[in-house]
Amino acid sequence: MRREMTPMGKKISKRLIDLGMTQRELAVRIGATPQYLQKILHGERSGKKYLASIEEILEISLIV
């Protein structure tokens, strides 16, 4: 079964493409594993601890 990304996950993914950055690179920069970042993008984890860092690195707002 294919997992769907949350709207926040889609926004992060699109911004990564815009910046030419991989999910793995973002995960390393925020101090999480690539697997954990995947869980955040798919809504399986809130990732609250990492959201401010993601916003800062990607220069976006994740407030919906």
Q: What is the pLDDT of residues 17-33, one digit of tens each?
A: 999 999 999 999 999 99
Judged by DSSP in three states, 5 sits in coil
Give the pLDDT band of residue 5 (cuts 50, 70, 90).
very high
Q: What is the pTM of this model?
A: 0.91
CA proximity to 57, closest of 21, 32, 6, 5: 21
User: How much is the average pLDDT of 46-54?
Assistant: 95
Residue carrying the six token digits 């493409």: 17
